[in-house]
């Protein structure tokens, strides 16, 4: 079985995620798993679920007081950090305010739903993103729905592709970090990618979707090679 | 306990430094205790605690109460930061002066009032752990709390490496349906 297939086998990756969270995965195996986890959101979602269970073990520990200097250092650090964080927050809102994607996303949903891109509500029933090219022209509409646990990508405009290249869909965590590949996308028509319940849960942490042309033989375990062609903000959709 | 932490984290996400101080005061003793066991040196554990709390402050907005308790989220941040530190320093347990060891705090016969303090999730996890053979349970807990490798456990428990690996593998297999 190839390495890629091993990590896509739920039996195997769940066992590895569990060992990682319990702390029984060590050395190179741990590093390898971390690298894959950072690229594949289904691995990260499963690992997070187990980390949340094993994290309870810390409750059993006897409390030990650290020196007062620790808090002084932390306090100093976060006060220095505060202005930078405010700027970052402002720019994120600014990004939303150029809201073409937001307006188009609203067209995607049925009338009994509302789109709220600022919401972190756990009640999202779907997510939507309009992916635009460099000229801010909408090219792909992406919907991620809980009902059928699927990601659908509708290309509304053809994308010219060099021979030997295919389009890959990537997701970016809201809190930064490396983008993770979600799957291959057809350059015309509709593509459906199935997801599982853990992956659905993980969508709450995703801020941006992107599509880039990649070599057709790019394995999932390799990072993105090419410049992003399409990009869009992922917005949660909740029932009224 | 967890509700308070989740509320405090929510306030931290809004840059509320008073809430952050309260969160630190209430959560840091156990998180420091966790870092101490993994790193074995108070000065390293304090460095890690500092780094972990800065991450908690910066990432408070990403915490999602649907996915787990605030305390377990912070414990995971602290544990992963500790393991990163160990890795960066290429420290091994054998190279340190071991001061923190044993699993008395995780024994089956906790005082009744201590048991009441535990969250429902922890009580559930304890029930799952009780279903394991003692050796399986010991290996998993030593791995979690002390970061011991299979080889280190083999030496510590004076058992063949293959036996230790089998205990861990079977222990995790037995835990899986219970945790699900």
The pLDDT assigned to B100 comes to 59
Q: Do A22 and B31 touch (CB under 8 A)?
A: no
Q: What is the pLDDT of residue B90?
A: 67
| ipTM score assigned to the predicted complex | 0.86
Q: What is the CATH number of the domain that holds B91?
A: 1.10.1740.10
Same domain for A117 and A191?
yes
In a mutational test of the B interface, the residue from A10, A13, A19, A53 whose CB has the highest number of chain B CBs within 10 Å is: A53
* pLDDT at residue A9 in the model: 66
For B143, the closest of A14, A23, A81 (CB atoms) is: A23
pLDDT digits (tens, 9 = 90+) for B116-136: 677 888 888 888 998 999 999
If asked whether residues B147 and B88 sit together in one domain, one would say no
Which structure tokens are listed for B98? 């071991």
Q: CB B102: neighbour CB atoms within 10 A?
A: 11
Between CA A26 and CA A28 the distance in angstroms is 7
Structure tokens at B121: 């999730």
* B108 and B80 share one domain: no
A93 and A105 housed in the same domain: no
Residue range of the domain that includes A114: 100-239
pLDDT of residue A233: 84
| Boundary-marking domain end, from B72, B99, B126 | B99
Contacts of A86 in chain B (CB under 8 A): 15
**Are B89 and B139 in the same domain?**
no
Are both B68 and B149 inside the same structural domain?
no
CB distance A125 to A237 below 8 Å: yes
**Among B58, B61, B63, B37, which residue's Cα sits nearest to residue B48?**
B37
**pLDDT band at B106, cuts 50/70/90?**
low
Q: Are residues A164 and A184 located together in one domain of the fold?
A: yes
- Residue A225's pLDDT is 63
Cβ pair A55:B149 closer than 8 A: no
Do A133 and A163 lie in a common domain? yes
Q: Do A122 and B53 touch (CB under 8 A)?
A: no
Question: B88 and B108 share a domain?
Answer: no
**Residue A15 located in a structural domain:** yes
B32-46, B71-85, B95-109: least confidently modelled range: B95-109
Is residue A91 domain-shared with residue A196, that is, in the same domain? no
Evaluate whether B29 touches B47 at the Cβ level (below 8 Å).
Answer: no
The reply to whether B84 and B152 lie within a common domain is no
Mutate to test the interface with A, among B10, B47, B70, B75 (most CBs of A within 10 A): B75
Both B108 and B147 in a single domain? yes
Interatomic CA distance for residues B71 and B119, integer angstroms: 10
B117 shares a domain with B95? no
For residue B160, the domain's CATH number is 1.10.10.10
Q: What is the 3-state secondary structure (H, E, C) of chain A?
A: CCHHHHHHCHHHHHHHHHHHHHCCCCHHHHHHHHHHHHHCHHHHHHHHHHHHHHHHHHHHCCCCCCCHHHHHHHHHHHHHHHHHHHHHHHHHHHHHHCCHHHHHHHHHCCCCEEECCCCCCCCEEEEEEEEECCCCCEEEEEEEECCCCEEEEEECCCCCCCCCEEEEEEEEECCCCCCEEEEEECCCCEEEEECCHHHHHHHHHEEEEEEEEEECCCCCCCCCCCCCCEEEECEEEEEC
CB B122 within 8 A of CB A56: yes
Which of B78, B99, B120 is at the close of a domain?
A: B99
Same domain, B66 and B107: no
Å between B158 CA and nearest CA of chain A: 18
From CA B6, how far away is CA B74, in angstroms rounded? 10
A107 shares a domain with A209: yes
pLDDT beyond 60 at B94: no
- A44 contacts on B by Cβ (under 8 Å): none
Contact between A85 and B58 using a beta-carbon 8 Å cutoff = yes
Residue A38 sits in the same domain as residue A121 = no
> How far is C-alpha A222 from the chain's CA centre?
16
B31, B50, B65: residue with CB nearest A73:
B50
Chain B residues with CB inside 8 Å of A28's CB? none
Residues β-bridged to residue A126? A145, A237
**Residues A141 and A166 placed together within one structural domain of the fold:** yes
Domain assignment present for residue A205? The answer is yes
Count the domains in chain A. Answer: 3
Judge: A66–B28 Cβ closer than 8 Å, yes or no.
Answer: yes
Mark whether B17 and B95 lie in a shared domain: yes
* Grouped pLDDT means (10 residues each) for chain A, 240 residues: 57 86 88 83 84 91 93 88 46 36 41 38 74 77 85 82 85 80 84 84 87 78 66 74
Q: Are residues A136 and A225 in the same domain?
A: yes
Would residue A72 count as lying in a domain?
Answer: yes
| Residue in B15, B66, B143 closest to A24 by CB | B143
pLDDT at res. B88: 81
Restricting to B residues 10-69, those with a Cβ less than 8 Å away from any Cβ of A are 15, 17, 20-21, 24, 28-34, 36-37, 45-46, 49-50, 53-54, 57-59, 61-62, 64-69
Say if CB A185 and CB A169 are below 8 A apart: yes
Strand pairing class (A124-132; A138-145): antiparallel
Domain match, A135 and A85 both: no
Domain-terminating residue out of B56, B83, B99: B99
| pLDDT at A85 (0 to 100) | 47
For chain A, say whether B99 makes contact (Cβ under 8 Å).
no
Nearest CA distance, A51 vs chain B (angstrom): 6
CATH number of residue A234's parent domain: 2.60.40
Residues B157, B105 share a domain = yes
Which two three-digit tokens encode residue B13? 């996400």
Work out how many domains chain B is built from and give that number.
2
Instruction: Quote the pLDDT of residue A82.
Output: 56
Residues A166 and A110 in one domain: yes
Are B95 and B126 within one domain?
A: no
**By residue range, what is the domain housing residue B172?**
101-180
Q: What is the pLDDT of residues B12-26, one digit of tens each?
A: 998 899 999 999 999
Cα A136-A142-A143 angle, rounded to 5 deg: 145
- Do residues A106 and A219 share a domain? yes
With respect to residue A61, please indicate whether it lies within any of the assigned structural domains.
no
């Amino acid at each position: 079985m190839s390495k890629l297939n091993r990590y896509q086998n739920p039996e195997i990756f769940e066992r590895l995620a569990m060992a990682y969270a319990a702390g029984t995965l060590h050395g190179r195996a741990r590093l390898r798993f971390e690298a894959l986890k950072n690229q594949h959101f289904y691995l990260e979602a499963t690992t997070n679920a187990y980390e949340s269970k094993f994290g309870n073990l810390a409750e059993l520990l006897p409390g030990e007081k650290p020196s007062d200097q620790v808090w002084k250092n932390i306090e100093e650090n976060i006060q220095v950090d505060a202005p930078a964080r405010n700027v970052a927050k402002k720019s994120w809102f600014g990004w939303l305010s150029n809201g073409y994607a937001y307006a188009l996303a609203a067209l995607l949903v049925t009338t009994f739903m509302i789109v709220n891109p600022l919401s972190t509500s756990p009640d999202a029933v779907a997510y939507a993103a309009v992916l635009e090219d460099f000229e801010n022209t909408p090219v792909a509409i992406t919907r991620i729905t809980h009902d059928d646990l699927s990601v659908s990508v509708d290309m509304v405009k053809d994308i010219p592709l060099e021979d030997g290249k295919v389009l890959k869909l990537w997701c970016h965590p809201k809190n930064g970090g490396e983008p993770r590949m979600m799957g291959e996308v057809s350059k015309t028509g509709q593509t459906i990618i199935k997801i599982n319940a853990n992956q659905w849960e993980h969508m709450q942490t995703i801020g941006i979707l992107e599509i880039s042309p990649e070599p057709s033989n790019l394995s999932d375990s390799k990072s993105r090679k090419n410049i992003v062609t399409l990009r869009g903000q992922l917005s949660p959709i909740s029932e009224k | 306990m967890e509700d308070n932490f989740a509320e405090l984290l929510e306030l931290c996400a809004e840059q509320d430094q008073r809430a952050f101080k309260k969160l630190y005061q209430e959560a840091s003793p156990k998180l420091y205790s966790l870092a101490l066991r993994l790193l074995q040196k108070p000065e390293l554990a304090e460095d890690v605690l500092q780094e972990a709390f800065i991450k908690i402050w910066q990432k408070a907005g990403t915490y999602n109460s649907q996915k787990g308790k605030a305390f377990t989220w912070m414990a995971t941040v602290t544990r992963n930061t500790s393991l990163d530190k160990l890795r960066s320093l290429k420290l091994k347990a054998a190279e340190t002066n071991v001061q923190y060891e044993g699993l008395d705090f995780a024994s089956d016969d906790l005082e009744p009032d201590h048991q009441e303090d535990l969250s429902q999730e922890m009580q559930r996890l304890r029930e799952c752990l009780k279903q394991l053979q003692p050796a399986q349970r010991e290996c998993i807990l030593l791995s979690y709390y002390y970061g011991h490798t299979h080889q280190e456990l083999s030496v510590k428990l004076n058992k063949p490496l293959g036996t230790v690996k089998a205990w861990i593998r079977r222990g995790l297999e037995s835990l899986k349906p219970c945790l699900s």
